[in-house]
Amino acid sequence: AQSVTQLDSQVPVFEEAPVELRCNYSSSVSVYLFWYVQYPNQGLQLLLKYLSGSTLVKGINGFEAEFNKSQTSFHLRKPSVHISDTAEYFCAVRLMDSSYKLIFGSGTRLLVRP
Amino acid sequence: DADVTQTPRNRITKTGKRIMLECSQTKGHDRMYWYRQDPGLGLQLIYYSFDVKDINKGEISDGYSVSRQAQAKFSLSLESAIPNQTALYFCATSDGTAYNEQFFGPGTRLTVL
């Protein structure tokens, strides 16, 4: 069965510090990979996606993620966070099959402190 | 105006009541989805629809039903609400491209007393 694991439920970090949010997945078929962000009292917004090609993908708001096939990981990084980055971040995979379903991780709450 | 809208945004109801959550989209997408979000569990798929005549169960469909009234409208019903259905509910849409990016509504917070 396919699954997505976000090991850190909460990551506290000081403003202007770097951050990495970890995501690992398990799948017997090829997948597309996504990171979504959920700001307080809002729906989910796509941050970035990996479909094919370069394993380093850049998204909105200065975030980037690197796909590592051998480690089945897709960690999200930002070199310098802002208070406004405080939100919940979800990693998701879509199987390359006919179902077109997204499988979400449990989420990581990023808490940026001044 | 938002591309995916959900009504109501908040709802408090009592056990045993019938509840309908509505979702409308102006993106022209064929595919629509209903998810449930619980703290620490991420999003779980309840139902999805690839067109007006196509309805499919997701991971946690028990206790829920849906209706796809038109391409732009997809409603979720709880026939007899129970307290463990208290959660945040999201509607999403996608087109038919290979990577199937999903666009989410703002969510409906449902509390069942």
Q: Does B97 touch chain A (CB under 8 A)?
A: no
For residue B42, the chain A residues in CB contact (below 8 A) are 4, 6, 90, 104-107
**Is A106 in the B-facing interface, judged by CB distances under 8 Å?**
yes
pLDDT at residue A71 greater than cutoff 80: yes
Q: What is the pLDDT of residues B29-41, one digit of tens each?
A: 999 999 999 987 8
The string of DSSP letters for A22-83 reads --EEE-SS-EEEEEEEE-TTS-EEEEEEE-SS-SEEE-GGG-EEEEETTTTEEEEEESS--G
Confidence at residue A84, expressed as pLDDT on a 0 to 100 scale: 95
Q: Touching check for A9 and chain B: CB below 8 Å?
A: yes
Radius of gyration of chain B measured on its C-alpha atoms = 13
Rg from Cα positions in chain A: 14
Return the residue in B5, B25, B100, B103 with the most chain A beta carbons within 10 A, the one to mutate for interface testing. Answer: B100
Average pLDDT over residues A26-54: 89
- Cα separation, A85 vs A51, in Å, equals 24
Task: Count how many Cα atoms sit within 13 Å of the Cα of residue B72 in the half-sphere of its side chain.
Answer: 8
Any A CB within 8 A of B45 CB: yes
- In this complex, do A102 and B45 lie within 8 Å of one another by their Cβ atoms? yes
pLDDT at A28: 83
Residues of chain B with pLDDT under 70: 1-2, 98-99
Say yes or no: B94 contacts chain A, CB-CB below 8 A: yes
Beta strand A24-26 with B4-7 is: unpaired
The pLDDT tens digits of the residues spanning A81-102 come to 999 999 999 999 988 776 677 8
The residue type at A108:
T
Compute the count of residue pairs across chains A and B with CB atoms less than 8 Å apart. Answer: 52
The answer to whether A44 and A34 are in contact (CB under 8 A) is no
Contact B99 A49 (CB under 8 A): yes
